[in-house]
Amino acid sequence: MMASFGQRTRGYPRSRGRAGVRDGLDRGTLGIIGTICAVAGFFTLGIILGPAALVCGWLSMGRAWNPKSSIPALVAVVLGAIDTLLALLFLGGVSL
């Protein structure tokens, strides 16, 4: 029988691949980034930051309409939609 050279996996269940890979941003961070994009979009570059806020909020909700998931995600989606609509109206020449 060969020695294992200290590679114990019995006491560490995460070392066997059960935890999964955690690459990228988590949902909470995406919601906060989306909210920041939505608020900044009201002041500048609304045509870019509005859809970015929509995407970040939607991904933060888990790609399904789940308003109970997190408040920043819901704020990002709603403000991003309003921001995008206002930017499109402004580009179309409609004055409010």
- Asked whether residue 1 carries a pLDDT value surpassing 90, the answer given is no
- Model pLDDT, residue 94: 83
State the pTM of this model: 0.70
pLDDT at 26: 86
CA atoms of 60 and 37, how far apart (whole Å): 14
Tokens 């890979």 sit on residue: 21
| Mean pLDDT to the nearest integer, 35-45 | 94
